[in-house]
Amino acid sequence: MDTPNNETKKTVLSFVQASGTPTLGNYLGAFKNWHDMAAENDCIFGVADLHAITVRSEPKDLRRRSVEMYAMLLALGLDPEKNIVFLQSHVAEHSQLAWVLNCYTQFGEASRMTQFKDKSQRHADNVNVGLFTYPILMAADILLYGADQVPVGDDQKQHLELARDVAERFNGLYGEVFRIPQPYIGKKGAKILSLQEPEKKMSKSDPNQKAFISLTDPTDVMVKKIKSAVTDSEAVVRYSPDKPGVSNLMTIYSCCTGKDFAAIEAEFAGRGYGDFKAAVAEAVAEELRPLRDEYEHILADKAYIEKCAAEGAQKAAYLARKTLRKVMKKVGFYQI
C-alpha cells in the first residue's frame, strides 16, 4: 500500500467497533460500499477494540468479538495486501497520541459531544472517563495516519469536527503537523431501519432480537425476522413516508436486487405482504450468502487471521510512529 503522501489517491480511514456482530443495516449502509472505496483509494481499516471497552464486557467476549470483526473485514473483500487492515490495540501509538491530544482539547469541547450524553443514559451504571474522552481517541485514530477523508454517519459527524478542531489548534501552535481530514462522500449507503420500530435505525444493541438482522444469523432466522417485520393494514406494496415498515422492506429489497421502487411496486401489484416478505427474505439470503460463506471460511483459519493481523499492525505502526515522533518532538519531549 502507498503511504499517505501518494498524490494520485486519497487516504481514507474507517474503523468499526468490536462491539458485536454487524447488522444488515451496517452492511447495506456502509460495508457494501467499502470494496469500491478500497479500489479507488488508499484505505486503512481498523477494528476499534480500544473503543469497545468503554462498555464493560467479559475479556473472552472482547477477544472473540475482535477476531470475528477482523474476519468480517477480510470477508468483505478488503485485501490485506492492498489495504491496511488491523486491530487498533495492536498499535500502541493510538493511546499515546490520544493522551497528547487530551491536553489540546478543551473540556467544553468534549462536554458538548452528544454521543456522551446518549451513552451515559444507556450505561448509567458505568459512566467512565473513557466514555467521555473516546472522541479524542477517535481523533488520534484519524490523525495518526494523515487521513484525507473519513466516512462518517450522522452520529459521528460531531466527532470528526472535533478531530479537525484539535488538529487545527495543534497546527496553529506548532506548524503543519496534522493533515486536516474531510468527510468521505462516496456512494450513498441506504439507511436501514428497525424491522419492529421502523421509525428508528436498525441497531445490534436493540433489546428486541426481531428488530435487526445480524450478518451471521442463520437463513431460517433471517426469514422469520423479515416475515415478522412490522408493516400496516393496507396490504399494498408502496413506498411512502406514511408506510415506514413497508418502505424499509422496499429499501432492503432494492439494495439486494438493484430494482428501483417503481419496479418493486409493479412487481407486487395486487399481491399481499406475504409474497412481498418472502421475496425480501430470499433476496437478503442470496445477498449475504457469499459473505457468510467467506466469513466462516476465514474465521476457521486462525493462522491466516493472525498472519494478516500481525502484518496489518506492522504496516499501521510504521505510519503511526512517524506521526507520533513528529508530535512528540514538536511538544518538547526529550527524544532518544
CA distance 137 to 116: 13
Distance separating alpha carbons of residues 277 and 24, to the nearest angstrom: 16
Helix (H, G, I), strand (E, B) or coil at 303: helix
C-alpha cell at 299: 474465521
Assess whether 201 carries a catalytic annotation: yes
Catalytic residue among 9, 10, 191, 204: 204
Q: Which H or E run includes 140?
A: helix 129-143
Q: Read out DSSP for 33-48?
A: HHHHHHHHSEEEEEEE
Q: Is 119 a catalytic residue?
A: yes
Q: Could you give the 3-state DSSP secondary structure of residue 84?
A: strand
Phi, psi dihedrals of residue 83, rounded to the nearest 5°:
-125, 165
CA distance 310 to 320: 15
- CA-nearest of 141, 88, 73, 83 to 305 is 73
The candidate with the shortest Cα–Cα distance to 67, out of 324, 227, 232, 302, is: 302
Catalytic residues: 119, 201, 204
